[in-house]
Amino acid sequence: MLLCLHIWFLEVVSNCSDDGSHAKDHHLSLPVSTGDLTTSAMGEMEELRKEMENLKDQITAARKTFQDSTLQEAAAGVTVVGRVQLKTRKTLRGHLAKIYAMHWGTDSTLCVSASQDGKLIVWDTITTNKVNAIPLKSSWVMTCAYAPSGNLVACGGLDNMCSIYNLKGKDGNVKVMRELAAHTGYLSCCRFLSDTEIITSSGDCTCVLWDIETGTQKTVFAGHQGDAMSLGVSPDFKFFISGACDFTAKLWDIREAECRQTFGGHESDINAIGFFPNGNAVITGSDDATCKLYDLRADQELLTYQDASIMCGVTSLAPSKSGRLLLAGHDDFNVNIWDMLKAERVGVLAGHDNRVSCIGVSSDGMACCTGSWDSFLKIWN
Amino acid sequence: MTINTMAKGGWHRDQMSCFRKMEKVIVAMQDPDMGMKMRNQRLLITVIPHAMTGRDIIDWLMKKYNICEEESLHISGLLVRYGYIYPLKEPRSLVLRPDESPYRFQTPYFWTSTRWPASELDYAIYLAKKNIRKQGELMEYEKERYSVLHKRINHTWDFVVMQAREQLRRKADRIVLECQEQAYWLINRPPPGAPNVLDMGLVRPHNTARVTLNSEHYKNEIDTCKRALGRNRVKSSICLEGFMKYSEQYQNHDPIMQGCLPSNPWISDDSAHWTMNLETVPTPTRLRVERWSFSFMELLNDEMGRREFMTYLEKEFSGENLAFWQACEDIKHGESSKIVEKVEEIYRNFLAPGAPRWVNIDSKTMDKTLLGIRHPHRFVMEDAQMHIYFLIKKDSYPRYLKSDLYKNLLAKGIVPQETKKSVFPFMRRQRHSSPSPAQVATQPTEEVGNAKGAGQAGTNSAAGSNV
Residue B233 has pLDDT above 60, yes or no: yes
A152: number of CA atoms within 13 Å, CB side?
A: 23
Distance from CA of B111 to the nearest CA of A (A): 16
Q: Do residue A51 and residue B333 have CB atoms under 8 angstroms apart?
A: no
Compute φ and ψ for A200, nearest 5 degrees: -125, 150
**Looking at the partner chain, which of A7, A315, A334 has a beta carbon nearest the beta carbon of B459?**
A7
* C-alpha span between A211 and A192 (Å, rounded): 11
Is pLDDT above 60 for B158? yes
Is residue A119 a contact partner of residue A153, using CB atoms and an 8 Å limit? no
Residues B38 and B103: their CA atoms lie apart, in Å, by 10
Average pLDDT taken over every residue of chain B: 80
What's the pLDDT score for residue B207? 63
pLDDT band at residue B209, thresholds of 50, 70 and 90? very low
Å between A39 CA and nearest CA of chain B: 13
Contact between residue A125 and residue A367 where contact means Cβ atoms under 8 Å apart? yes
Residues B53, B65: Cα–Cα separation, whole Å: 19
> Do residue A322 and residue B251 have CB atoms under 8 angstroms apart?
yes
Q: How many CA atoms lie within 13 A of B245 on its CB side?
A: 10
pLDDT (mean) for B430-446: 38
Chain A nearest-CA residue for B455: A6
Q: Cβ–Cβ of A381/B255 closer than 8 Å?
A: yes
State the pLDDT at residue B136.
Answer: 74
| Yes or no, beta carbons of A84 and B434 under 8 Å apart | yes
For residue A293, give the DSSP letter.
E
Q: How wide is the angle at C-alpha A104 spanned by C-alphas A144 and A95, nearest 5°?
A: 60
Q: Which amino acid is at A224?
A: H
Residue B49 has phi, psi (to 5 degrees) of -80, 170
Is the Cβ pair A340, B243 closer than 8 Å? yes
Out of A79, A80, A287, the one facing B17 most closely (by C-beta) is A287
Contacts of A99 (CB under 8 A, 6+ apart): A113, A114, A115, A116, A357, A358, A371, A372, A373, A375, A376, A377
Q: Rounded CA gap, B211 and B93, in Å?
A: 46
Residue B210's pLDDT is 61
Q: What is the pLDDT of residue B445?
A: 37
Check: CB of residue A104 under 8 Å from CB of residue A122.
Answer: no
* Nearest-by-Cβ selection for A68 from B229, B235, B458: B235
Calculate ∠ Cα B374-B376-B377, nearest 5°.
155
Looking at the partner chain, which of A75, A315, A341 has a beta carbon nearest the beta carbon of B2? A315
Taken as a whole, chain A contains a residue count of 381
Min Cα–Cα distance to chain A from B161, Å: 38
| Chain B, nearest residue to A14 by Cα | B236
Beta strand pairing status for A368-372 and A377-380?
A: antiparallel
Higher pLDDT: B132 or A8? It is B132
Which chain A residue has its CA at the smallest distance from B267's CA? A89
Q: Do A51 and B222 touch (CB under 8 A)?
A: yes
- In angstroms, the separation between the Cα of residue A329 and the nearest Cα of chain B is 9
Instruction: Say if the Cβ atoms of A366 and B224 lie within 8 Å.
Output: no
Dist. CA B67–CA B75, nearest whole Å: 10
Mean pLDDT of B225-234: 86
In one-letter notation, the amino acid at residue B174 is R
Residue of A nearest to B255 (CA): A366
Q: Which of B211, B226, B251 sits opposite A32 (nearest CB)?
A: B211
Instruction: Say if the Cβ atoms of B256 and A321 lie within 8 Å.
Output: yes
Q: What is the pLDDT of residue A379?
A: 95
pLDDT for B211 equals 63
Percent of the residues in chain B that have a pLDDT greater than 70, as a whole number: 83
Q: Is A41 exposed, middle or buried (0-12, 13-18, 19+ CB in 10 A)?
A: middle
> Taking CB atoms and an 8 Å cutoff, what residues of chain B touch A67?
235-236
Chain A interface, best mutation among B2, B329, B377, by max A CB count within 10 A: B2
**A256 → chain B, closest CA residue:** B379
Decide if B240 and A366 are in contact by the 8 Å CB cutoff: no
Q: Which helix (H) or strand (E) holds A51?
A: helix A39-64
The alpha-carbon gap from B392 to the nearest alpha carbon of chain A, in Å, equals 17
Report whether A251 contacts A241 (CB < 8 A): yes
CB contact under 8 Å between B336 and A74, yes or no, is no
Name the residue type at position B237: S
Chain B residue whose CA is closest to A127: B269
pLDDT value at B253 more than 80: yes
Closest CA to A329 of A360, A307, A301, A304: A360
Give the gap in angstroms from C-alpha B158 to the nearest C-alpha of chain A.
Answer: 39
Q: In what order do the strands lie in the sheet with A119-124?
A: A99-104, A110-115, A119-124, A129-135
pLDDT given at position B424? 47
pLDDT at B173: 65
**Pairing assessment for the beta strands A32-33 and B211-212 based on DSSP bridges:** parallel
H/E stretch holding A263: strand A258-263
Q: Would the pLDDT of B166 be above 60?
A: yes
Residues of chain A in contact with residue B382, where contact means CB-CB under 8 angstroms, are 255
Q: A314 has which bridge partners? A: A330
pLDDT over 60 at B307, yes or no: yes
Tens digit of pLDDT for each residue in A314-349?
999 999 999 999 999 999 999 999 999 989 999 999
pLDDT given for residue B13 in this prediction: 54
CB contact under 8 A, B212 and A33: yes
Residue ranges in chain A modelled with pLDDT below 50:
1-33
SS (H, E, C) chain B: CCCECECHHHCEHHHHHHHHHHHHHHHHHCCCCCCCCCEEEEECCEEEEEEEEHHHHHHHHHHHHCCCHHHHHHHHHHHHHCCCEEECCCCCCCCCCCCCCEEEECCHHHCCCCCCCCCHHHHHHHHHHHHHHCCCCCCHHHHHHHHHHHHHCHHHHHHHHHHHHHHHHCCCCHHHHHHHHHHHHHHHCCCCCCCCCCCCCCECCCCCCCEECCHHHHHHHHHHHHHHHCCCCCCHHHHHHHHHHHHHHHHHHCHHHHCCCCCCHHHHCCCHHHHHCCCCCCCCEHHHHHHHCCCHHHHHHCHHHHHHHHHHHHHCCCHHHHHHHHHHHHHHHCCHHHHHHHHHHHHHHHHCCCCCCCCCCCHHHHHHHHHHHCCCCCCCCHHHHHHHHHHHHHHHHHHHHHCHHHHHHHHHCECCCCCCCCCCCCCCCCCCCCCCHHHHHHCCCHHHHHHHHHHHHHHHHHHHCCC
Q: HSE of B53 in the Cβ direction (CA atoms, 13 Å)?
A: 9
**Three-state SS at A57:** helix
3-class SS of residue A155: strand
CB-CB under 8 Å, B244 with A341 = yes
pLDDT digits (tens, 9 = 90+) for B379-436: 888 899 999 999 999 999 999 999 999 999 989 888 887 775 544 444 444 444 444 3
Rounded to whole angstroms, the Cα distance separating A186 from A141 reads: 9
Residues of A in contact with B75 (CB under 8 A): 309, 311
Are A381 and B433 within 8 A, CB to CB? yes
Tell me the Cα Rg of chain A.
Answer: 21
Burial class (CB in 10 A: 0-12, 13-18, 19+), B426: exposed
List all residues 6 or more positions away from A128 whose beta carbon is below 8 Å from its beta carbon.
Answer: A90, A91, A92, A93
Cα–Cα distances in angstroms (integers) from residue B371 to residues B320, B341, B377, B384, in the given order: 22, 16, 12, 12
- Tell me if A357 sits within 8 A of A376, measured CB to CB: no
CB contact under 8 A, A66 and B21: no
Nearest CB neighbour to A52, from listed B7, B25, B222: B222
CB contact under 8 A, B243 and A185: no
